[in-house]
Amino acid sequence: MGKKLLIFGIGMFCETLISTLSAEQRRVPDVYTVDSKYCNRDMYCGKPLIPFEEIESYCNPEEYEFITAVGYAKLNHVRLEKSSVLRNKGYSSLSFVSKYARISPDIEIPEGSIIFENVVIHPFVTLGKDNIILPNNYIGHHSTIGNACYFGPNACICGKVHIGDCCFVGANATVRDFVTVGSSCIIGAGSVLMRNLSAGCLCNVGESTVISDKAASIDLTNPNIMRSNNKN
């Protein structure tokens, strides 16, 4: 018998992932967990909801594997932090790869990967752990993706691109070939990045030459953030 499934998260991304996981693999979580300050009920989706600080008292690490179902909160650092804590406690990390993704056979899928339908990953790509790749992404040959990045739908990463850890690539964004993107960068939805981007920087929608050093402080849940930055 396989291990039981522990999910960190109860938000909208979690709901989306669990719906897809159930439809494709006929698997449902056994237990949910979040930080105690967000744990305001005993059950979630008909399953126990346990404070994260008490998780070892309820879930034996030898019996559970986990998925951190958290999106780009704090530029992906929340997902990276919670996954690291669970691994250090001895829980094994589960990856989800949609059966409708098209991934070159030579690609190694690291732990904590979440790859949705219609993603295309070409040969000789290196993926880090804990990445989320939403539907219809393209990642070109010989590219390297760091840890804990988030790719919105329909992003296009051309060949021989390097993207550092904890980056956010918005929907319909394009990164041209041979570009290097530093860690903790934001490439806004609809942007076209034509040159290298230093760590902690922002590429605004429609203005690939407008770069700032305030990516880590940006609230990605604000739908006006890219528009307001373009006016500065």
Please give the annotated binding residues for substrate, written as ranges: 71
CA atoms of 78 and 72, how far apart (whole Å): 8
> Which DSSP symbol is given to 216?
G
CA atoms of 27 and 154, how far apart (whole Å): 27
Q: Which residues have CB under 8 Å from 43's CB, separation 6+?
A: 49
Cβ burial of 90 (10 Å; 0-12, 13-18, 19+) is exposed
How many contiguous H segments (helices) and E segments (strands) does the chain have?
Answer: 4, 24
DSSP β-ladder status, 150-151 and 168-169: parallel
Q: Which residues pair with 32 in a beta bridge?
A: 7, 49
- The CA angle 190-214-67, to the nearest 5 degrees, is 70
Residue list, annotated binding site: 71
